[in-house]
Structure 1
Amino acid sequence: MHSEFDLLLGRKTYDQWASYWPNHDDVWREATRAMKYVVTRQSQDSRWESTTFLTEPVEALKRIKQEEGPDLHVWGSSELVHTLLANDLIDEVRLIVYPIIIGSGKQLFPDGNILPLQLDVIEQQLMPNGVHVVRYGRFQSEGKKR
Structure 2
Amino acid sequence: MRALLLLAPALLTGAAPGHAEGDGTRIASQRDAQRLLAAQGVTLQWIDWSTRGTVRVVTGPVWHLSAAQAQAGGPGRLQLDGAVTEIGKGYFTFRGTIRMTDTPDSGRRCEATKDWHFAITQGRPYYRLREFEWCDGLTDYIDIHF
Does the TM-score normalized on the shorter chain lie above 0.5?
no
User: Highest Rg: 1 or 2?
Assistant: 2
TM-score by length of 2: 0.23
TM-score by length of 1: 0.23
Which structure dedicates a bigger proportion of its chain to strand? 2
Which structure dedicates a bigger proportion of its chain to helix? 1
Higher RCO structure (Cα 8 Å, ≥6 apart):
1
